[in-house]
Amino acid sequence: MSVTKLAYYPGCAGATHAIDQDISTKAVFEQLGIELIEMEGWNCCGAAEAEDPNMVYALNARNLVIAEKEGLNVATPCSICFYNLARTDKALKEDENLRKRMRDIDSSLDYKGTISAKHTLDILVNEVGLDEVGKKIKKKVAVKVAPYYGCYLERPSEIGFDNPEMPDSMDKIVELAGGMPISFRQMRIRCCGGPLMMTRGDLAFELSKRVLEAAKKEGADCIITACPLCHMMLDAKQPDIEEFFNITIGMPVLYFSQLLGLALGVEPKKLALNKNIVSTKEIEEKVI
Amino acid sequence: MSVNAWELDPEFKYEVASTPGGENIMRCFQCSTCTASCPIADIDPNYNPRKTIRMTLLGMKNKVLSSDEIWMCAICQMCTERCPQDVRISDVMGAIRQVAEKEAKKGNIEVKSVRPAFESAFMHQIEKYGRSYEIGLTMEYYRKVHKGFVSAMMAMQKDYTKLGIRLFKKGKMPVTSMLPEKIKRTDEVKKIFKSIGD
């Protein structure tokens, strides 16, 4: 089945610190001829801060209904939004009582379960397919890449779309782009600490430092990620981490959509690479 | 750690099990796969999700609810994924935190962690605007934690000046983000909060 049109859920970070992910995601889908239509009036998914699962279900039932009314499947580039949208979709499809409880709160939560909610990485690798994406590749990004999956793309496995212990969808994107994925065996699924950033910064810094140092030790030219919170920790906060531990890292961190965009022949600026905190110049120079 | 039988609350485990997310707590058979998989336990050996679950099952209510540990979980789902008993530890921890917030509101326990303040400030933005509003969130959170406007501003300046300038320079804090991005149908979102609360 070919994908031509999707309901786009950018997530709250897409307008601020993940604006580079938003821009590069749109550029990649444009290259592939897939229309992303931003959902009108979407609300926050509750992120990692909504402790009550019922709150997550209600917030995201409303989001799913918006897309369902258009008859479109939801695509989001954020791992946390994906987790919340997808677990709501699953819970509501499986539980008639829960659907009724949502409906009783407000008619705007009356989800029928006729669509799906997926991460953009899942859509590209498993729906559009590597063959189709491969046809549009124009350049080779000859770099060594640490594919960093973090948490929600693959865990918990009944929601995630990748192998929970050894996810590889981003590895496939790297290979398609002409790069070389490093092993990054243990670290690829290790948490960056993002949800603790504001309340236990010390733990968050330690977790992110380990990811950055492992990538450096394994000789990566850059890290790629699919999550705005991982990107915030590893890229925007990298200078803070360097200062905190008195170390030097200097590791570029790209969204996977930025790396894929380069291979699709999109100019770096149109992928918002100029907005990355750690310079991506050396990566851009290796695009041939 | 000594356990005093007369201080135990046998109802506690049922309270957690009836809180959304906590349903499977009684499946735990203490294998410790959670702790062995936990990235936080890897950093801080005092952090031990297996032990928190055991203490909960024993009924050590006050000790569990006033512990720092329940606020240290990064919700990374590693424990949930690897648990052979499908306890869903990440969600159980969330249920315990919900009980802790409830008890703290009643004045029964004291929560030292700043995390409930952050979480409620975050949820307030959604309730008001339908979306997260980073500046509003940070202001509300710092005012709560630092008690007062002036000390909050000073703490914010100390913590965020460098990051803020960095993001601003790269266009990641656009002028449009200075004000909240309010959705049209906040009435629908308010209904959710009225019905479920947080």
Distance CA A53, CA A162 (A): 23
pLDDT for B173: 85
Confidence band for B2, pLDDT divided at 50, 70 and 90: confident
What is the arithmetic mean of pLDDT over B124-144? 94
Residue B45 has a CB neighbour count (10 Å cut-off) of 8
3-class state of residue A246 by DSSP: coil
For A163, the token pair is 């192998």
Q: Do A156 and B115 touch (CB under 8 A)?
A: no
How do residues B166-197 score in pLDDT, each as one tens digit? 999 999 988 888 889 999 999 999 999 999 97
Residue-wise pLDDT for B8-52, tens only, equals: 999 999 999 999 999 999 999 999 999 999 999 999 999 999 999
Answer whether B154 touches A (CB < 8 Å).
no
A9, A24, A43, A80: which to substitute to probe chain B, counting the most B Cβ within 10 Å? Answer: A43
The closest of B78, B89, B118 to B22, measured between CA atoms, is: B89
Give chain B positions within 8 Å (CB) of A62. 188-189, 192
The residues, any chain, with a CB within 8 Å of residue B32's CB and separated by 6 or more, are B50
Q: Which residue has the tokens 């699709």?
A: A264
pLDDT, residue A2, reads 81
Provide the CA A160 distance to its chain's centre, in angstroms.
12
User: In the prediction, which pLDDT does B153 show?
Assistant: 87
The Cα B180–Cα B182 span in angstroms is: 6
* A23, A159, A261 from A28: Cα distances, Å: 9, 25, 5
Chain B (74-113) residues lying within 8 Å, Cβ to Cβ, of chain A: 74-78, 80-81, 88, 90-91, 94, 97-98, 101, 113
Question: Which residues share a beta bridge with A8?
Answer: A38, A75
Q: Give the model confidence (pLDDT) of B95-107 as tens digits.
A: 999 999 999 999 9
Mean pLDDT on A41-64 = 97
Q: B-chain residues within 8 Å CB-CB of A58? A: 192, 195-196
pLDDT at residue B197 in the model: 74
Average pLDDT over residues A109-127: 98
**pLDDT over 90 at B147, yes or no:** no
d(CA B23, CA B7): 24
Identify the DSSP state of B46.
T
Average confidence (pLDDT) over A67-88: 98
Residue A120's pLDDT band (cuts 50, 70, 90)? very high
Strand partners, A230: none
What is the predicted ipTM? 0.95
**Of the candidates A53, A108, A204, which has its C-beta nearest B21's C-beta?**
A53
Torsion of CA A45, A37, A115, B182, to 10 degrees: 30
- Return the higher-pLDDT residue of B5 and A176: A176
Percent of chain A with pLDDT over 70: 100
Report the residue from A12, A54, A62 with minimal CB separation from B188: A62
Q: Is the pLDDT of residue B151 over 90?
A: no
Helix (H) or strand (E) holding A261: helix A256-263
Alpha-carbon distance values, A253 to A150, A162, A227, A229, A235 (Å)? 13, 21, 11, 12, 6
d(CA A230, CA A240): 15
- Locate the chain A residue with the closest alpha carbon to B189: A59
To the nearest whole number, what is the mean pLDDT of chain A?
97
Q: Starting from the edge strand earliest in sequence, which strands make up the sheet with A253-255, in order?
A: A180-181, A144-147, A222-225, A253-255
The whole-chain average pLDDT of chain B stands at 94
Tell me the C-alpha to C-alpha distance, in Å, between residue A261 and each of A9, A169, A235. 19, 16, 19
pLDDT band at B198 (very low <50, low <70, confident <90, very high): low
For residues A180-201, give the mean pLDDT: 96
* Chain A touched by B127 (CB under 8 Å): no
Q: What pLDDT, on the 0 to 100 scale, is given for residue A1? A: 54
Distance (Å, whole) CA A165 – CA A172: 16
Test mutation, B43, B76, B93, B105, chain A, max A CBs within 10 A: B76
- Chain B positions in Cβ-Cβ contact with residue A98 (cut-off 8 Å): none
Q: Pick A156's closest partner by Cβ from B80, B183, B185.
A: B80
Indicate if the pLDDT at residue B121 is higher than 70. yes
The confidence band for A179, taking pLDDT boundaries of 50, 70 and 90, is very high
Following DSSP, what letter does each residue of A41-71 receive, concatenated?
T-----TTT--SHHHHHHHHHHHHHHHHHHT
Q: Provide the H-helix boundaries in chain B.
A: 12-17, 33-37, 39-43, 49-58, 61-65, 78-82, 89-105, 115-129, 134-146, 149-169, 186-196
The shortest C-alpha distance from A131 to chain B (Å) reads 31
A53, B91: Cβ pair inside 8 Å? yes
Query: Among A49, A105, A195, whose Cβ lies nearest the Cβ of B123?
Result: A49
B196 and chain A in contact, CB less than 8 A = yes
Residues in chain B: 198
| Chain A contact for B39 (CB, 8 A cutoff) | yes
